[in-house]
Structure 1
Amino acid sequence: MRTGYVPDNGYDVFFRILGPLQVTIADRVVQLAKNRQLTVLALLLTEANKVVSGGRIIDAVWGDAPPVTADKQIQTCVWRLRSAFEKAGGTGLIETARGGYLLRLPDGCLDTQVFERAMLRGRERAEDGDLAGAVEEYRSALALFQGRPMAELDSPAIEAVAAYWSERRLSVLEECLDIELAMGRHRELVSELRLLVDEYPLREQLRGRLMTALYLSDRRADALAVYRAGRATLVSNLGLDPCARLQDLHRRIIAGHPVSSPQPQRARYAAKIPAQLPADTGDFTGRSDDLDWLDQELRRDRTGGTPIITLIGRGGVGKSALAVHAAHRAQDRFPDGQLHADLRGSTSPLRPQVVLSGFLQALGTPERSIPSDLANQATLFRSITAGKRLLVLLDDAASSAQIEPLLPGGSDSAVLCTSQSSMAETPGATTRRVDGLDTADAVRLLSRLIGAERVSREPESSRAIIGLCGHLPLAIRAAGARLHTRPTFRLERFVDHLADEKRRVAELTYGSLDTGARLTAAADRLSPAERRLWLALSILELPHISAWVAATVAGTSEGEAQRLLDGLADHQLIDVVDGNRLGGSHYEYHPLLRILARQRADQELDAAGLIDALDRLADVFSWLEDRAHRALDPHGAPGQPTLPPEGVLRIGQGLLRDVTHHAELWLAQERPNLPWLRTLATARDHRGPKLPTQQSRALPAGHHVA
């Protein structure tokens, strides 16, 4: 069976959801069974070019009471849809991916996409003063509606999307009517407005337009009768009088005063475009390489899903300022607006429902039309944003699970996200790590904060302050704020204050610029085992930490220690560094994080248990070093080889293999750690096998226990 008008989109396939669900391939309607197949297809269409999980499809089809065979029935539905499409000549439309299904839909192959594009063209023409051209585009868009969207489907997930598009149609129709009234088409619109008022008797905006059209058509009595009928309807149904605007229009008609047609204004349309970006940082400094990369990513043309660009780094490193600055630079790429949310992931993460509700309202969705559950909110959000060019800035995300429902539909929008988590599980995300400022940029920032003349008088002290701040913009800003209040204070004296580790973090905190709180926020989200290891490792004066060191201190296997280290690195509490040539990883602390961890270690760790861990480390290291030297020169080492201590056996065979078969390489990569480890072993030998429990027992230089 042939169908009517199909937009010229360059493809043979076209889907309609603005009315009964319909699929057209090669200008012929595809016959589909009118059962759960339509619900599956409708959900895939409302999430076009996005993976929809099997669980969400099951919820949409059966709600809270799915049959035990639900998975297989959904597979059968998808198979039948594919078969019907392929029989009609449409291949490869539905893909299986990541535990769900994806409907691959080129732009312009869905009537909602065509509607939005035509509506935007109409607004552009109205803004340019071409009212006739604007009406033509609006009416072309509205003609795509063939009844209530997907009215034949009984599914809450689909009904939420249908309600949105019904409201969207009315909103666009009202814009069109205002333009036509401004053009003087009062008499031509009376019949259409009467039908609309009869259909939506409680919609006062439509009633006001009908009254205006009648009055300007010299039908004053009819206009007053429309008001009286509307007031009676409102009182009987809601117990309310008409709104103030309608009452004022009524009084003007009674008095015979002039009534003007609604005037389409540029501001009216611009207000529908969200502009939620925070203010740009006035003294933003440096980051030229990061900005060039972000500019390229934000302006890149993509196909497929929504691009997700993620900036990763520890608290205080300047991720948010960088993201906001880059977003302002790229505004012209996203003419449909910018959405922003502080997700508070490092402190008390916001629920996605709260964020989505705000986004939907910013995009013009009435609060009463916003679903209460997350799944339907996310579906509605993706449907509304499909085909738009929006920039969504999600600051301080806790995890992929928090941002997944907040991703817009289509590939024209982009998501820029910042997080202290690695976000490694986010599919398709492009990630960049943000580190501290380089010295030159950091000095320029300090100059902006306290004055270039003051910095130029003490250049060495300025660089020393930067180093003691760990090159973190937040710490530098706190230092600058503190120095700003001490205009006669020499920078050299401030360096002396910062050199004292007990005072440093306090000196780098000023008002809301709380360096310590920002850096350690992630520590409160660690598991107990991760937290104990993070605190214990901070007391070691090692240039780098290997997995075997962490395993020894934790008293566990190397594999388990590696998982704990992965968690610490994921939370930006330790850094992965280069230099491990045996296939493992090396780690180190940011200097400010080491200070903060040590302060907490003094308060939280048991002294006797900590000393036991250090003694284990001394025993394990002494045996490993001896084993490595014997492997290199079996006949040159004095004495007989000893059996490995329990700690070595617990760590695992990988370590034994390294020190036996790669002894020279193992010793070379541990060489920076050897002085402190040997001092630790010497202190262990001098104390003997008995372990005192006093917190004041002797330890290698540089270590302290409260």
Structure 2
Amino acid sequence: MLAILLLRADQVVTTSELVDAVWGENPPASVHGVVQTHISMLRGVLEPNRPRRGQGEVLRSVGNGYSLALGGARYDWREFERTLELARQHRDEGNARAAVEWFGNALRMWHGEPLASVPGPLASVERARLNEISLGVQEERLELLVALGRHTAAVTELAALTSAHPVRERLRALHMKALSRCGRRADALAVYTETRRVMVDELGIEPGSELRELHQRLLAHDEPERAQQATAAPPAAPPAPVRRPVVPFMDEPVRAAISPAQLPADLADFTGRTALVKKLTAMLTPRTHRTAPPRGLVAGIGGVGKTALAVHAAHQVRQHYPDGQLYVDLRGAGPDAADPLNVLSAFLRAFGVSPNATPADLDERAAMYRSVLAARRVLVVLDDAADVAQIRPLLPGAASCGVLVTSRRRLPEAQWDEQVELEGMSRQEALTLFSRTIGAERAGAEPDAVEAVVDACGRLPLALRITAAKLVDRPQWTVKSMADKLARERGRLSELRVGNLEVEATFHLGYGQLDPDCARTFRLLALPEGPALSLPAAAALVGSDPSLAEPLVERLVDLNMLASPAPDHYAYHDLLRLFARQRAVQTDPHPERVAAMSRLGEFYLATAATAGWLIQAPLLDRERFRRQYQHSTPQAGPRPYPGGVPLTDLRSAFDWVGEQQATLLATARQFLIDPDLPSGMVVDLISFLELYLANGTHFGEIGQIGALAVRDAQVTGDRRVEAWGRRKVGEAHLRRFELPQAEHELTESVRAATEAGDNSALATALDLLGTVEFRLGNGEQSLAHLEQALALSRAEGDLVREAYVLGTIGRTQSERGQFDLALEACESSRGLHEQLGNDTGLARTLYLVGTVFQRAGRLVESIDPLEESLAVCLGIEQTFGEGHNLVMLSRGYLADGRAEQAAAAAARAKEAGEAIGDAHMHAMAVAELGRALHALGKHDRGDEHLRSARTMLTDLNSPQAAAVSALLDRK
């Protein structure tokens, strides 16, 4: 995986691309979890000091993929490319001797097979590609050696290479020339004879014309052209002159002399976009087999750098279009888009066509334009196109021409050889551009402020150039002062203007193209936080059915006012979202904005209610389940999808929550921060999903949301919201083994729930408080809390909560040594979960039965319930439960004398912990792996794992650290 990310350095590689590259058509089960595991391991090596929850600076998560941001870091492939570029530069400048030296430097970087031992389909393809590149570079160097008259040195290397590549004609020809110039004409003829024999016998073809002609000259004693101590490689032959047709409306002298060069100047500091430049220039490079002109489209939002990229790529290939380069700004984003009739007139004048000879009819004028360009090599750059109708008359018909179009729209109805969807720059590209503009010394003095400015600009090139230009014009300003200005969202867009450059004005051009319905959709979809919106969520925001909302959001995507990172999912560029929100504040009354967000909250709540029911109690009456967990009052009036997304089974419920969890948590935070939105809805939303979200590593984030709920409740006086918020904060402390803090928050939660009269919230808080008290050594107090929680759950008829409390009672009794009572409680819990159809709860109870057996010293008996629990977890793809079961199973297998199976279980548990970022699970798995390795006689590795586990558990403040320390002391 590291090799793939390096090969695509500074680019985003999606998860699906990684899966295809590494495993092809045979990915392992839970492959996305495996990918996350490998990413986590790579981050541990590449960025060992990165906070566990922090975004990586080197290996970054971007959308649905990852990017290895190397910046100026050195690695062999990049060094090879740089060295090769120097070699070719020396050759092109006529310094052949220096070029040979640099080609040699490049080739000395190669050591054996590239990507040796790296598995996977992509590695196989890349290995072949890299080997081909290496061989091509060797040929370039040997050509120069022969041209310089260093024939003897070349012969030795060519003999080895032609032996390894017997049908590579370029090598054979070089070998023959070198032998001939060494006075070994007979050997040169023998090389041809051998080459022909191999090609005829193995391929069934004769050698190519170059080899045959060389052979004939040798037979005629006509030595191949000798370069007497040449100083440069022979220049490539110029393209054959084209035979232009006679154009009656142009004078021959004019036709021969005019070669328009209309391209705007390239940016001196053009930065990044390397892969896209290569893609466009490769597309525009002439090829003999073409029957139609190559056409490329660069699409993207305003200010993203479409024109800069197109002009830069055009300058890279202008030598291939010696008959001219045409350029026009079509002004397609504004109200005064260029008329193609007028553009054609200007293009024809550029080639010397008299205005008097230009037809008035558009079709006739376009036909004349195509005639003028027929068989000419002309590059046409059409900038800022409005639509296909505008550009269709401007497209040449000759395959010898090339076309590059930029547009804010995707223009899907046209056919493109390359279609580039331009997004914001990579972080490293943006940092490089900004630092280069303001000066490396100034940027280096305030690196944190530079990063803050780049983030505030959303890595949009226009915004970066404006901000940098302001700083250059104001040398007395610090970069931090600019970062502070941009940190204020309300005034950010107004700061992003200098001279005639303005980000907001650029966005206004696109916004002005929207009809009223699209404009309203554009504004309302920007209101919620979160990474993306699904189509049903977008429909809820605008208050319509998804079938009616879809054409509106898809039109926004076509206009690049909205991105679609996945089918039926939509997202904004950061600055464009800010622009849309400002338009919403200016256009949509406050009650309408609140109503839109309330509709979204109700949509999420309705879907979460269905998902929670399917996950926790599908055999229970659905409406009864909803009434128990929902306290907020829905908004009156008709609503689209009143039941939310129509989830039908457990799999669809898990899929929806897994896909939407980041958006749901962002929405929850927003509802608690905005005083105009109903905070009680957040309590219900997360309560429905509580058991799903608890089976993972979201407790820290939900704890932060809980703290926001407490703050909100202290303003509103809503004790129910406070009870919920304090419970979430307390649970986060409990998961981090911060027991005194957990006890305080949960005690306050119990008090608030009692005053609110919310018995369900009170039972849940007492359940958690019972766990905390036991870990603090207060066994009697612990059971008292749990018995009270059980009584409240039964009084409320809350079978789900009753089942979970019974499991907690069983765990607590087993820790007190009351194993029979513990098993009895667990069996009662199991029966209720089976009655509810709650596989998640059933897996938990079976796991608890296994732990009871283990605490009783009956480790072998624990295997059956733990394996049964593991099977349930695998069936519902619950990685959290899978990992914890595997940790305990490792102990059971070891007690049963199955050390290899114990090691395998612990290794799988370690992977599960890494996949979901559960540091405690990971540490416990490492400890069990250490024990298993000792049992297998691998004592050094076993001690290494145990020491690592002790360090991790100590850092986590886990009571298990003492047990691992004692184990190491005994060993």
Match of 2:663 in 1: 673
The answer on 1:319 being equivalent to 2:319 is no
Change in 2 beyond 3 A, CA 1:441/1:636: same
Would the alpha carbon gap of residues 490 and 636 (structure 1) be closer, same or farther in structure 2, given more than 3 Å must change? farther
Report how far residue 650 of structure 1 moved.
Answer: 3.6
Distance 1:649 1:641 in 2: 22
Is 1:349 matched up with 2:431? no
Aligned to 1:335: 322
Distance 2:506 2:569 in 1: 25
CA deviation after TM superposition for structure 1 residue 626, in Å: 0.6
Write the letter of the residue equivalent to 2:595.
D
- SS of the residue corresponding to residue 248 of structure 2 reads helix
- Aligned residue type for 1:167: F
**C-alpha distance in 1 between matches for 2:559 and 2:394:** 22
2:587 aligns with: 604
1:296 aligns with 2:378: no
**1:634 counterpart residue number:** 618
Q: 377-386 vs 309-318, which deviates more?
A: 377-386
| Distance (whole Å) between structure 1 residues aligned to residue 395 and residue 469 of structure 2 | 38
Deviation at 1:609, TM superposition (A): 2.4
Count of aligned residue pairs for this structure pair: 433
Q: How does 1:38-117 map to 2 (within 5 A)?
A: none
1:482-521 deviations in whole A, cap 9, x for unaligned?
Answer: 1112212111121111101122112221012211111332
Query: Structure 2 counterpart of 1:290, which letter?
Result: L
CA distance 1:408–1:599, shift in 2 (3 Å): same
Asked if the contact 1:627/1:659 (under 8 Å) is kept, the reply is no
- Matches of 1:334 and 1:617 in 2, distance apart? 54
Q: 1:292, 1:405 → 2: CA distance?
A: 28
Three-state SS of the structure 2 residue aligned to 1:415 is strand
Asked if structure 2 preserves the Cα contact closer than 8 Å seen for 1:335 and 1:390, the reply is: yes
Gap change, CA 1:392 and 1:652, over 3 Å in 2: farther
Cα deviation for residue 659 of structure 1 reads 7.3
- The one-letter amino acid of 2:652's match is H
- The residue aligned with 2:260 is 274
When residues 636 and 626 of structure 1 are mapped into structure 2, their CA distance, relative to the original with a 3 A threshold, is same
CA distance in 1, matches of 2:302, 2:553: 18
Q: Is the 8 A contact 2:297 2:416 kept in 1?
A: no
- Whole-angstrom distance in 1 between the partners of 2:340 and 2:295: 17
Whole-Å separation in 2 of the counterparts to 1:428 and 1:652? 43
Aligned counterpart for 1:362 among listed residues 343, 350, 355: 350
TM-score normalised by L of structure 2 = 0.42
CA contact (8 A) 2:262 2:325 kept: yes
Structure-2 residue corresponding to 1:512:
500
1:552 maps to 540
Distance 1:648 1:477, change over 3 A: same
Distance, in Å, in 1 between the alignment partners of 2:669 and 2:453 is: 31
Among 681, 684, 700, the alignment partner of 2:678 is 684
1:466 maps onto 2:454 in alignment: yes
Deviation of the 1:645 alpha carbon: 9.5
Letter aligned with residue 282 of structure 2: Q
Aligned equivalents of 1:425, 1:654: Cα separation in 2: 35
1:535·1:598 contact (CA, 8 Å) conserved in 2? Answer: yes
Share of identical aligned residues, percent? 34
Per-residue CA deviations over 1:255-276 (Å, capped at 9, x if unaligned) read xxxxxxxxxxxxx777411111
Kindly indicate whether the alpha-carbon contact (under 8 Å) linking 1:557 and 1:650 is maintained by their aligned counterparts in 2: yes
Q: How does 1:421-440 map to 2 (within 5 A)?
A: 421-440=409-428
**Residue number in structure 2 paired with 1:592:** 575
Maintained 8 Å contact 1:618/1:680: no
For 1:380 and 1:475, how far apart are their aligned partners in 2? 42
Partner of 2:851: none
3-state SS of paired residue (2:420): strand
SS in structure 2 at match of 1:166 = coil
Residue from 379, 382, 403 that aligns with 2:367: 379
Q: Which residue of 1 aligns with 2:895?
A: none
Alignment match of 1:483 (pick from 471, 474, 478): 471
Any idea what SS the aligned residue of 2:308 has? helix
Q: Over residues 447-482 of structure 1, what are the superposed CA-to-partner deviations in whole Å (9 max), with x where a residue is unaligned? A: 332211101111111111111111111111111111
Matched, 1:401 2:389: yes
Which letter does structure 1 place at the counterpart of 2:473?
T
Equivalent in the alignment of 2:293: 306
- SS at structure 2 position matched to 1:656: coil
Output the CA distance in 2 between the equivalents of 1:681 and 1:479.
33
2:580 counterpart SS class? helix
**1:616 and 1:647 in contact (8 A); partners too:** no
Q: SS at the partner of 2:494?
A: helix
CA 1:330–1:680 in 2, change beyond 3 Å: closer, same or farther?
closer
Read off the aligned partner of 1:278 and give its amino acid letter. P
User: What is residue 691 of structure 1 aligned with on the other side?
Assistant: none
- Which residues in structure 2 correspond to 1:30-41 (within 5 Å)? none
- 1:598 and 1:645 map into 2 onto residues whose CA distance is 23
Q: In structure 1, which of residues 651, 655, 668 is the aligned counterpart of residue 645 of structure 2?
A: 655
Letter in 2 for 1:568: L
CA 1:653–1:357: 2 relative to 1, 3 Å: farther
Query: Could you tell me whether the CA contact under 8 Å between 1:455 and 1:462 is conserved in 2?
Result: yes
What is the rounded CA distance, in whole Å, between the counterparts of 1:504 and 1:680 in structure 2? 20
Q: Distance in 2 between matches of 1:678 and 1:588?
A: 18
Which 10-residue stretch deviates more, 491-500 or 567-576? 567-576
Q: Secondary structure at the match of 2:624?
A: coil
Distance 1:637 1:342 in 2: 64
Task: Report how far residue 658 of structure 1 moved.
Answer: 6.3
In the TM superposition, what is the alpha-carbon distance from 1:420 to its structure 2 partner? 0.7
Ranked by relative contact order (alpha carbons within 8 Å, sequence separation 6 or more), the top structure is 1
Partner SS, residue 512 of structure 2: helix
Matching residue of 1:392:
380
Distance 1:376 1:629 in 2: 66
In structure 2, do the counterparts of structure 1 residues 548 and 647 end up closer, same or farther at CA, with 3 Å as the change threshold?
A: farther
Judged with a 3 Å threshold, the aligned counterparts in structure 2 of structure 1 residues 651 and 359 are, in CA distance, closer, same or farther, namely farther
The structure in which a higher percent of residues are helix is: 2
| Residue 285 (structure 1) aligned with residue 275 (structure 2) | no
Task: Render the CA deviation track for 1:305-324: whole Å, top value 9, x for unaligned.
Answer: 32210111111111111111
C-alpha change, 1:680 and 1:471, in structure 2 (3 Å) is: closer
Number of the residue aligned with 2:249: 167
Q: SS at the partner of 1:655?
A: coil
Contact 2:333 2:510 in 1 (8 A): yes
Q: Distance in 1 between matches of 2:574 and 2:484?
A: 16
Give unpaired runs (5+ residues) of structure 2.
1-240, 628-633, 682-707, 713-971
Contact 1:458 1:492 survives alignment (8 Å): yes
Report deviation, 1:638. Answer: 7.8
Answer yes or no: is the 8 Å Cα contact 2:599–2:639 preserved in 1.
no
Corresponding residue of 1:229: none
Q: Give the 5 Å matches for 1:219-258.
A: none
Cα deviation for residue 661 of structure 1 reads: 5.9
Q: Is the 8 A contact 2:603 2:644 kept in 1?
A: no
Q: Assess if the C-alpha contact under 8 Å between 2:524 and 2:584 holds in 1.
A: yes
- 8 Å contact from structure 1 (residues 323, 416) kept in 2: yes
Change (3 A) 1:488 1:659: farther
Question: Aligned AA for 2:306?
Answer: K
Contact conserved, 2:606 with 2:644, CA < 8 A, in 1? no
SS of structure 1 residue aligned to 2:551 = helix
CA distance in 2, matches of 1:314, 1:429: 21
